[in-house]
Amino acid sequence: MSNKTITIAIDGYSSSGKSSMAKALAKKIGYRYIDSGAMYRAVTLYAMRNNMISPDHIVDCDALVASLPHIKIDFKVCEDGQHTILNGEDVESLIRQLDVSNNVSQVAVIPEIRHALVAMQQSFGIEKGIVMDGRDIGTTVFPNAELKIFVNASAETRAMRRHKELIEKGQQSTYEEVLANVVTRDHIDETRKESPLRKADDAILLDNSNMSIAEQDTWLINEYNKAIANNK
């Protein structure tokens, strides 16, 4: 392995499997892994708990932006992977629930929230040696990343994967509910004004609809090896 570290940005649609591949790569090459979506989810949980989101998903932006100095997000490495810590509390399983998923896009459109989280994400990556996944990592957070991947799969494939994951975690939801959530989030992510979800011009596109996890992990490690060779 080369001792010259790089920055790796993995963006893509919700439930495209980008987090699993990002985590597996980070573990294999000994890099730090950051799930930027978890940060938007943690802010959303904070807003929900503080009655800043109405049942029809309207966010009290002013109140939430004013609360930013009171929202501290960290990550902790645990036996079963990385956990998200919100103001000292482990919220890893809470932020994955469907009620958070249903509100998070509304929080992620708020420019002040994005600016604050992007600054935090950039500070995590200051020393390189990082794999970060999200929606705007290759375009906004790390535009100079040496390796950028953009992952996609059909909405039905992604909903099936997410539904299976939720069932395995014992969370109640139907496939139709999960598919509706995936389609709605795609639309909000792609059409928001502030850093919409889009492939960076220099990102490598991966459609993993018909790939096994092992195949995608092998594909990614090959791309990493090529990026390291080009970076010498």
Smaller CB separation from ligand DC, 1 or 156:
156
Which residue in 29, 91, 108, 110 binds ligand DC (CB under 6 A)?
108
What is the contact mask toward ligand DC in residues 39 to 78, using x (rule: CB under 6 A)? -xx-------------------------------------
In the complex, the smallest distance separating the C-beta of residue 141 from ligand DC, rounded to whole angstroms, is 7
- Is residue 6 within 8 A of residue 147, CB to CB? The reply is yes
Q: How far is CA 157 from CA 4, 10, 72, in A?
A: 37, 19, 34
Q: What is the CA radius of gyration of the chain?
A: 17
- Rounded to a whole number, what is the distance in angstroms from the first to the last CA of the chain? 12
What is the contact mask toward ligand DC in residues 8 to 37, using x (rule: CB under 6 A)? ------x---------------------xx
The rounded distance, in Å, linking the Cα atoms of 229 and 232 is: 6
In the complex, the smallest distance separating the C-beta of residue 118 from ligand DC, rounded to whole angstroms, is 8
Number of residues that bind ligand DC (CB under 6 A): 14
- Is residue 121 within 8 A of residue 76, CB to CB? The reply is no
Q: What is the DSSP string of 200-216?
A: -TTPEEEE-TT--HHHH
Q: Is 163 in the site for ligand DC (CB under 6 A)?
A: no
Residues at the site binding ligand DC, with contacts judged by CB under 6 A: 14, 36-37, 40-41, 104-105, 108, 134-137, 185, 189
